[in-house]
Amino acid sequence: MTQPPADNTAEHPTGHACIQSYLATLDNSPGVYRMLDAESRVLYVGKAKSLKKRVANYAKPSGHSPRIARMISETASMMFLTTRTETEALLLEQNLIKQLKPRYNVLLRDDKSFPNILITRDHAFPQITKHRGAKTRKGAYFGPFASAGAVNRTLNQLQKVFLLRNCSDSMFDSRTRPCLLYQIKRCSGPCVGKISAADYAAAVRDAERFLQGKSTGVQEALAAEMEAASEALEFERAAALRDRIRALTQVQSVQGINPRGVAEADIVALHMEGGQACVQVFFIRANQNWGNRDYYPRTGAGAGPEEVLQGFLGQFYENKEPPRLILTSHDIEDRELMAAALSERAGRKVEIAFPQRGEKTELVAGALRNAKESLGRKMAESAAQGKLLKGLAEAFGLEAPPNRVEIYDNSHIQGTNAVGAMVVAGPEGFVKSQYRKFNIRGDDLTPGDDFGMMKEVLTRRFKRLLKEDPDRQGDTWPDLLLIDGGAGQVGAVAQIMGDLGVTDIPIVGVAKGIDRDAGKEEFHRPGQRPFALRHTDPVLYFIQRLRDEAHRFAIGTHRAKRAKAVGATPLDEIPGVGATRKRALLTHFGSAKAVSRAGLADLKAVDGISDSLAETIYGFFHERG
């Protein structure tokens, strides 16, 4: 049942009276409620075991925290959705929070996927590699690891120990002599028969045993092999085994904490200070520490630690598989309910524990110490960033320090593979989740027309903003535009923005000086004389960092587009032909041109190409001609 927001007329009550008016329409069903302000913006999303009882509590005129009292006073209407169970309500609540981002809810702002280590099982000589995303490839997955760096370090050491290949299947099949990794003893050379299939399979089993936490048995087996080789006077083999044992020991030492009594857990610790929060998550798998990552959730205008941690857990595991045990630094609200919701999502039991003694308490204490230190560093960086933004406002005559600075740049080679790039900075530094790339589409642009490219980028950017947030209620409108260029570029941008009806956003062009030396930049504003900052001014260095970041992002995007174009073939346009079938066709015929000339019978003879797909491929090329 959905209750639409009430008509916000002058007669319609707000605050406690508004909430009270909904009580007659509610029963004791579980569900989710939304509180909206006079502009129908969602203030808060919550779940309830009994919607009637929860709303009745909000309708009371007293007994609320300052945060809840503020929220109630701003409430002009409510919406309701009933569910079958409270667990279902909890899951729906977290989905809506992530989607709607209400001001008074705790919000997890950085929510990236985690990398895994994959040992493939679709090849006679399995590959060990880093994997991120859906687990669609056949193989054994180990993770999650906290970062790509944690995976890369582990992979590097595992290659020294187990000598497994990391090359792609196509590269493996094309080798006629061993690669450099074989020469530096990072691979056993299975591509050219330097190791038997049986011995390679044994190495794969050892690698899997190690990643499952059975490292002691692996080390003992390697030590026995080394001793046997030494007794047989096979000193070169003994030395190689000794090096592998050393590498294995190094893997374990860089992991730091390796708990004995906790085989699989996420350790989640929260530290709050000065209205800000840091959550540290440590990943323990197979009795090994696979890294940690810090998060800085929005605290919902003053929520307490139990609510912050519960909101974090619900959103963090919304698209990730939870472990069997989650250890927390605070006893969250509705702990049993959250465990039931995560268990339902995972399809197995998930326990959430707030340990009070023993090794688990020590693990949480370590994570909590990291959270406190990380938040201290973050607050120091934010203070420094705040000073720089204040200096930026003073330098460019802004009314207040900008909360959102957008920096634009273009990249191309003689007009080809042209891209525009936008990076974003604010009080917390660069906001990489807000970066945007623009593939330049203008067919009528002269190659190298930077003005035309900038016009296309800004037109697309601000037309979308005007459509999605015309009243500028969100936080996606910039307070300052920085453009890489001088008076000409600034004048052109000002005209573009004027044509769009957006004339109140300050525009500054950053141009190199006469001899184009960094440090002698000139700054241009519409209708004003250019000026420069002192060579030692920290604000000048800050602007250089902003411009360089935009340039780096634009160049990287351009290179990626160019590399993709180099590898593109007409086969990419055929429905049903993905990467695997494309590779099969190119391997069979040698080139895309040969595929286009092939007869229907020849296409049907390719492994993995069905009769119907062969007819599609044949029709694609011959109908075009």
d(CA 312, CA 268): 10
Mean pLDDT of the chain: 85
Average pLDDT over residues 481-488: 90
How many beta carbons lie within 10 A of that of residue 422, not counting itself? 21
Predicted confidence at residue 497, as pLDDT, reads 92
Of 409-418, 470-479, 486-495, the one with minimum mean pLDDT is 409-418
Q: For residue 74, give the nearest of 16, 6, 21, 115 by alpha carbon.
A: 16
Predicted confidence at residue 245, as pLDDT, reads 73
How many beta carbons lie within 10 A of that of residue 9, not counting itself? 6
Provide the whole-model pTM.
Answer: 0.69
Predicted confidence at residue 76, as pLDDT, reads 94
Pairing state between β 298-299 and 325-328: unpaired
Predicted confidence at residue 73, as pLDDT, reads 94
DSSP label of 330: S
d(CA 297, CA 110): 8
CATH topology of domain 265-376: Nucleotidyltransferase; domain 5 (3.30.420)
Predicted confidence at residue 342, as pLDDT, reads 93
pLDDT higher than 70, residue 258: no
pLDDT higher than 80, residue 311: yes
On whether the CB atoms of residues 349 and 324 are closer than 8 A, the answer is yes
d(CA 122, CA 588): 20
Percent of the chain with pLDDT over 70: 89
Find out if CATH 3.40.1440.10 is the number for domain 15-103: yes
Of 4-8, 53-57, 163-167, 352-356, the one with minimum mean pLDDT is 4-8
Pairing state between β 288-295 and 429-430: unpaired
| Separation in Å, CA 221 to CA 349, 407, 501 | 35, 57, 74
Predicted confidence at residue 624, as pLDDT, reads 45
Average pLDDT over residues 94-119: 87
Predicted confidence at residue 504, as pLDDT, reads 92
Average pLDDT over residues 463-477: 86
Predicted confidence at residue 480, as pLDDT, reads 95
d(CA 485, CA 612): 54
Amino acid at 20: Q
Average pLDDT over residues 185-201: 91
Question: 86-100 and 335-346 helices cross at what angle (nearest 10)?
Answer: 80
pLDDT higher than 70, residue 443: no
Find out if CATH 1.10.150.20 is the number for domain 570-624: yes
- pLDDT tens-digit map of 156-178: 878 888 889 999 888 898 888 88
CB proximity list for 52: less than 8 A, separation 6 or greater:
23, 26, 27, 28
CATH topology of domain 405-564: Nucleotidyltransferase; domain 5 (3.30.420)
Pairing state between β 31-36 and 42-48: antiparallel
d(CA 495, CA 487): 12
Predicted confidence at residue 260, as pLDDT, reads 72
Pairing state between β 416-426 and 436-439: antiparallel
Predicted confidence at residue 389, as pLDDT, reads 94
d(CA 345, CA 331): 21
- pLDDT tens-digit map of 412-432: 554 456 788 899 999 988 988
Amino acid at 171: M
Domain spans, the chain? 15-103, 116-254, 265-376, 405-564, 570-624
On whether the CB atoms of residues 518 and 506 are closer than 8 A, the answer is no
pLDDT higher than 70, residue 348: yes
pLDDT higher than 70, residue 247: no
Average pLDDT over residues 347-371: 93
Predicted confidence at residue 77, as pLDDT, reads 94
d(CA 159, CA 370): 30
On whether the CB atoms of residues 342 and 366 are closer than 8 A, the answer is no
| β-bridge mates for residue 416, sequence order | 413
Of 145-149, 332-336, 442-446, the one with minimum mean pLDDT is 442-446
Of 479-488, 560-569, 574-583, 594-603, the one with minimum mean pLDDT is 560-569
Average pLDDT over residues 589-610: 85
pLDDT higher than 80, residue 251: no
Fold match, 265-376 / 405-564: yes
Predicted confidence at residue 362, as pLDDT, reads 92
pLDDT higher than 80, residue 218: no
- pLDDT tens-digit map of 514-532: 554 556 789 999 989 999 9
